[in-house]
């Protein structure tokens, strides 16, 4: 039995490997401090939003940066956070957030949709709590915690936006009509370590799965949730380990889900439509670069964004160059983890059979005696 437990430990304990980088794209845009990006399959470029400027950039695979959209109508000091492309309608969806400050004490949250051909804005939908009366509350009004963080789009053009401060999800339909979609109590069912820097950051990265549900990462608990897009019901995905400080999320064409944090890139696989999952690989990332987003480009190539976000938040830097880095998977680990699982099941069956046979022999000896 000792060997069986040792095998279980070897399956669940995966040592993070150092990042094996491929294509490195360095681009220049002073003080941009991007938090999110997405891949545009039509232009074969990345689209990046800045946290200090109300503009969206197009980044070529050679690192050429061009302003794609500059939206000067947005509130001053607002930031572009999560981005997603609605491929069927050639639209870019962008989360917009303004953090309260001394000069602007009220938060602002919205979802913007832009036509990728004309670059014109289709709509700007304020994202409110049900008790809010307007998107920019006065100082005397009750301000509910809210931060529009990330967005995913389904096949019908509906967008789902995570609120990382309030731990709920908004839904914005194809016409730009928004409402709270899910306030599941499941989102608040796990303990939060109040000693970590990110303890206030709840629901974060979100991705739509074609079977009809969302997968949502929660930063301050490391949990992954499966959310039904029909009724907003949610359940915790049973993983073999927490996704510590998980931030951005993406899914490859082979069904592998990728979750990025400042420290690691997690590779996760499920065989039962995300009721359960296994972290079969972890890659250590550049901590100083502060990775916040992950996307899948051509031929399942995985890229992370190093936007030096913490430096931008602290306001104590003036970085001019940022990078998009391809992370190559250690393919042997994915094969080995399932091999270990199969061996573990086989060993369990053998030990159980051996135990039963031993009891049978002991019972027969007692009868003979």
Q: Tens place of pLDDT for every residue, the chain, 369 residues?
A: 444 434 344 444 455 556 667 899 999 999 899 999 999 999 999 999 988 888 999 999 999 999 999 999 998 889 999 999 999 999 999 999 998 877 777 789 999 999 999 999 999 999 987 644 444 433 334 455 689 999 999 999 999 999 999 999 999 999 999 999 999 999 999 999 999 999 999 999 999 999 999 999 999 999 999 999 999 999 999 999 999 999 999 999 999 999 999 999 999 999 999 999 999 999 999 999 999 999 999 888 999 999 998 887 777 778 899 999 999 987 655 555 555 545 455 555 556 556 666 666 566 555 555
From CA 307, how far away is CA 14, in angstroms rounded? 27
pLDDT value for 360: 60
Supply the pLDDT for residue 11: 44
Contact (Cβ atoms closer than 8 angstroms) between residue 83 and residue 93: yes
Question: Is residue 220 a contact partner of residue 194, using CB atoms and an 8 Å limit?
Answer: no
**d(C-alpha 158, C-alpha 90), whole Å:** 14
Ramachandran class of 49: left when φ > 0, alpha when ψ lies in -120 to 50, beta otherwise: beta
- pLDDT of amino acid 134: 44
273-293 burial by CB neighbour count: b if 16+ within 10 A, else e? ebeebbbbbbbebeeebbbbb
- Report residue 204 as tokens: 């974060």
Note the pLDDT of residue 12.
Answer: 45
pLDDT at 336: 53
């Amino acid at each position: 039995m000792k060997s069986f437990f040792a095998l279980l430990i070897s399956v669940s304990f995966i040592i993070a490997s150092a990042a094996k980088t491929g294509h490195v794209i360095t681009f220049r845009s002073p003080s941009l401090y991007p938090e999110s990006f997405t891949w545009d399959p039509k232009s074969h470029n990345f689209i990046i939003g800045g946290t200090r400027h109300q503009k969206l950039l197009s980044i070529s695979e050679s690192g050429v940066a061009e302003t794609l959209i500059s939206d000067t109508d947005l509130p001053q000091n607002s930031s572009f956070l999560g981005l997603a492309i609605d491929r069927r309608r050639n639209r870019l969806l962008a989360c917009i957030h303004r953090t309260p400050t001394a000069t602007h004490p009220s938060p602002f949250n919205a979802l913007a949709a832009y036509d990728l051909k004309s670059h014109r804005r289709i709509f700007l939908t304020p994202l409110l709590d049900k008790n809010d009366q307007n998107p920019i509350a006065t100082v005397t009004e009750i301000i509910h915690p809210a931060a529009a963080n990330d967005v995913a789009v389904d096949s019908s053009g509906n967008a789902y936006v995570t609120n990382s401060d309030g731990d709920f999800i908004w839904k914005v339909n194809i016409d730009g009509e928004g409402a709270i979609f899910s306030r599941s109590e499941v989102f608040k069912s796990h303990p939060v370590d109040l000693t970590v820097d990110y303890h206030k950051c709840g629901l974060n990265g979100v991705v739509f799965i074609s079977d009809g549900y969302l997968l949502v990462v929660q930063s301050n608990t490391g949990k992954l949730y499966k959310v039904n897009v029909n009724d907003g019901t949610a359940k915790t995905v049973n993983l073999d380990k927490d996704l510590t400080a998980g931030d951005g999320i993406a899914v490859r064409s082979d069904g592998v889900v990728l979750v990025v944090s400042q420290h690691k890139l997690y590779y996760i696989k499920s065989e039962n439509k995300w009721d359960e999952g296994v972290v079969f690989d972890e890659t250590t990332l550049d901590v100083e670069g502060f990775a916040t987003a992950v996307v899948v480009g051509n031929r399942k190539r995985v890229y992370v964004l190093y936007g030096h976000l913490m430096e931008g938040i602290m306001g104590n830097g003036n970085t001019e160059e940022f990078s998009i880095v391809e992370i190559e998977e250690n393919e042997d680990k994915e094969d080995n983890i399932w091999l270990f699982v199969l061996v573990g099941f086989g060993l369990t069956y053998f030990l159980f059979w051996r135990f039963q046979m031993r009891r049978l022999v002991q019972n027969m000896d007692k009868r003979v005696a």
